[in-house]
Structure 1
Amino acid sequence: MAKQKIVLAYSGGLDTSIILKWLEQTYDAEIIAFTADIGQKEELDGLEAKALATGATKVYIDDLTAEFAEDFIFPMFQAGALYEGQYLLGTSIARPLIAKRMVEIARAEGATMIAHGATGKGNDQVRFELNVAALAPDIAVIAPWRMAEFRTQFPGRAEMIAYAEEHQIPVTASAAKPYSTDRNLLHISFESGALEDPWFDASSDANEAMYMLTVSPEKAPDTAEYVELTFEQGNCVAINEERLTPLAVMERLNELGGKHGIGRVDMVENRFVGMKSRGVYETPGGTILFTAHRKIESLTMDREVMHLRDSLIAKYSELVYNGFWFAPERLAIQALVAESQKNVSGTVRLKLYKGNIIGAGVQSPVSLYHPDIATMEADPTQAYDQGDATGFIQLQALRLKVSAGVELQKGSGR
């Protein structure tokens, strides 16, 4: 009888390397290792050989960067997503793509189970499993870190390192780890270790070596740099008049943002599982794109449509953060977002300087801003009669006057 097959989300680090061997032994199964190339760069070097040496029967390392940019990052930025006012959802938005590809591989390989190395305290376990549930409810998910037998065998990193040595698993690890990272095309995150103390200053010169995508604002160039982003229906399609794919847009903006120290965020956020956690993020290109998109919307987007979309940002961001990318409510909001972006076209000019993004101009062939109407001088179009504002204000004030009158009567005892 053929062995059952398990598709494992594999990064090549200590945890997933141990889990690969443990799954093989515990389930007597064929382990198919899957790594999504979503912009980790050199972190992918040697992964296939490492997975095979650890016991994987097959390894997938799939370049998903173009799909990640076009089908996940760009739609999310059209929605203006920003979790708790700071986080551009760099880790969150990658998980549904990884889950989607794992399901596709499981179907192609005849696997009945999917496994991941996310811990029982984090958000990723929820994201992976909710997205798999939405796409393939018949596929079981194995989460070793939530299994008592796994935690008993590996109560700490020392036991995991010893297990790796015993089974000749090629990993590089030490019992002390300053922080954990997660990198992709949109960002890199840092958490745990020294960062678990919220008073720890991650911006100090002593900790500058931690950062990988950006220079510190203090060390950024002393001369500002201008950049122009061209949008069509809410998506950036060109930088400095050069048309680019979504992937190339992100790569170019990452270079610009990193050079000028843009996109560093240090925050304490609320995890879906109920605890607070401290994270440090570098999102250079995403921060530029987010700012530019908002500026072109200010010129081209109808007020009520903008306010309606904005009222959904917190909900949309929570859905992405919590793992509901493929949920019907996210898809419904995305349809509204797509409709709202039909007129969001034009060019934004920005000035990048020492961690700052400064607006330096915006224009659009479909601009809703008309200087002749907005001018404080005489309106040559006669489109707006200032006297009309009197009746408008009186109507808006009516309910306020009625309410105030009631309070006055209460105060006078009548």
Structure 2
Amino acid sequence: MTKKIGKVVLSYSGGLDTSIILKWLQETYRCEVVTFTADLGQDEELGPAREKAETLGVKDIRIVDVREEFVRDFVFPMFRANALYEGHYLLGSSIARPLIAKHLVSIAREVGADAIAHGATGKGNDQVRFELAANALDPSIEIIAPWRVWDIQSRTQLIDYAEKHRIAIPKDKRGEAPFSIDANLLHTSTEGKVLEDPSETAPSYVYQRTVDPLHAPNEPETIIVGFDRGDAVSLNGTALTPAALLSELNRLGGRHGIGRVDLVENRFVGMKSRGIYETPGGTILLAAHRGVESITLDRAAAHLKDEIMPRYAALIYDGFWFSPEREMLQALIDQSQAYVSGEVTLRLYKGAVSVVARTSPYSLYSLDLVTFEEGSGAYDHHDAEGFIRLNGLRLKSWASRNAQAASPR
């Protein structure tokens, strides 16, 4: 501890771990704890979090609905980049952490807190994401990460601590949890225990948000997603807020078994981990966004976006949302979206989402240029001869050199 801690703002879920952390902070630092619970669309009743905090003596309890802010200011900017980490992960947990950190720091400033605290473990990525975000937002803020400093090393010790301090433990939390879940409006993430061996097929009961594609409806469903400057704004002709639109895409995608990923990923802290991700609405949104970009982005601009996307995705995964390089890339990405407007028609069926039509008032697609029928004359077939000859010149030189070098001397 580098300074006297009189007040701490804790990222609080109301679960067993953060309830124990709350008590531990009170006991260790003899400080006041302010709790912050973010409603990110995790489909959980948040009232119990307030009740649990009250029983632990917390006077200042913050439960904030951040769903619209989450989708508008974090998810949508990320989707303008078509961001995928290691080709599969739509960054559902990663993109929520900077938002939580932003509110922790903001509340800490408001109430004059000396520190913020989180419940991320010392093996995971989230500790990095919370703390790098906090560093960028307030360099002077103290950060307390109990899992890195206390002497609790096992679930048994966790339960013992709870019992000693009369922290209520639900019956289903007393045994070893078969897996852990992180959920928000973008995704559900499941990892640990029954999923730790990547050679074993994940049991069906770990899936929370999507039906098994084998049991999805036997009839496909067609939907239309409307875009304005790279962001989804409507579904089937009805304008929706960002959070409402993503929520409805989740419902549709979940019903058709869309968005399941069983992934072994490379954590930023240096180990591999296996997780099950369900991102039904996000998977649809990614396909739709690429669909409208396919007719509105110039070839070189689209390819440049694809080249920088892995770097952009890694920055989010590694916790660098609030960084100069991410903001620079975001400016480039946002510039590319000026004419990414229109509608995309998609078919949802048995775990798959397919783009079947797309239209835009700013389309670069020219039927006159691509038709096999007689066009307006804008494209002269004879021009291709010189184009090919010039592009082939270096290949001829390269092949001639290789042939000469391979000849006996």
Tell me the TM-score range normalised by the shorter chain.
over 0.9
**C-alpha deviations, 1:98-133, integer Å up to 9, x for none?**
000000000001001011111111000000000000
Q: Which residue of 2 aligns with 1:406?
A: 401
Shift of 1:372: 1.1
| 1:136-285 mapped onto 2 (5 Å cutoff) | 136-147=138-149, 150=150, 152=151, 154-172=152-170, 173-202=173-202, 207-285=203-281
CA contact (8 A) 1:17 1:171 kept: no
- Distance in 2 (CA, whole Å) between partners of 1:268 and 1:41 is 26
Q: Which residue of 1 aligns with 2:392?
A: 397
- Distance in 1 (CA, whole Å) between partners of 2:323 and 2:169 is 37
The answer to whether 1:128 aligns with 2:123 is no
Shift of 1:289: 0.4
The 3-state SS of whatever aligns with 2:44 is helix
Unaligned runs of 5+ in 1: none
Q: Which residue of 1 aligns with 2:93?
A: 91
CA contact (8 A) 1:233 1:341 kept: yes
| 1:288-299 mapped onto 2 (5 Å cutoff) | 288-299=284-295
- Distance in 2 (CA, whole Å) between partners of 1:44 and 1:199 is 36
- Distance in 1 (CA, whole Å) between partners of 2:114 and 2:99 is 19
- Distance in 2 (CA, whole Å) between partners of 1:53 and 1:193 is 31
The answer to whether 1:373 aligns with 2:369 is yes
When structure 1 is superposed on structure 2, of 111-120 and 49-58 the one drifting more is 49-58
Q: Which residue of 2 aligns with 1:362?
A: 358
Pick from 332, 342, 362: which aligns with 1:346? 342
- Distance in 1 (CA, whole Å) between partners of 2:45 and 2:305 is 37
CA contact (8 A) 1:229 1:347 kept: yes
When structure 1 is superposed on structure 2, of 8-17 and 244-253 the one drifting more is 8-17
TM-score by length of 2: 0.97
- Distance in 2 (CA, whole Å) between partners of 1:358 and 1:307 is 21
- Distance in 1 (CA, whole Å) between partners of 2:193 and 2:395 is 54
The 3-state SS of whatever aligns with 1:72 is helix
**C-alpha deviations, 1:165-204, integer Å up to 9, x for none?**
11111232223110000000000000001100102212xx
**C-alpha deviations, 1:221-244, integer Å up to 9, x for none?**
111111000111111111000011
The answer to whether 1:385 aligns with 2:380 is yes
CA contact (8 A) 2:5 2:115 kept: no
Q: Give the root-mean-square deviation of aligned CA atoms.
A: 1.2
Q: Tell me the amino acid that sits aligned with residue 228 of structure 2.
A: E
CA contact (8 A) 1:21 1:55 kept: no
Shift of 1:331: 0.5
Q: Which residue of 1 aligns with 2:114?
A: 112
Shift of 1:368: 0.6
Shift of 1:208: 2.6
Q: Which residue of 1 aligns with 2:301?
A: 305
Q: Which residue of 2 aligns with 1:72?
A: 74
> Percent identity among equivalent residues?
55
The answer to whether 1:320 aligns with 2:316 is yes
The 3-state SS of whatever aligns with 1:358 is strand
CA contact (8 A) 1:12 1:171 kept: no
- Distance in 2 (CA, whole Å) between partners of 1:231 and 1:75 is 13
The 3-state SS of whatever aligns with 2:54 is helix
Count of equivalent residues: 404
**C-alpha deviations, 1:210-258, integer Å up to 9, x for none?**
2221111011111111100011111111100001111111011011001
The 3-state SS of whatever aligns with 2:277 is strand
- Distance in 2 (CA, whole Å) between partners of 1:240 and 1:28 is 55
TM-score by length of 1: 0.95
- Distance in 2 (CA, whole Å) between partners of 1:406 and 1:57 is 80
Runs of 4+ deviating beyond 6 Å = none
Unaligned runs of 5+ in 2: none
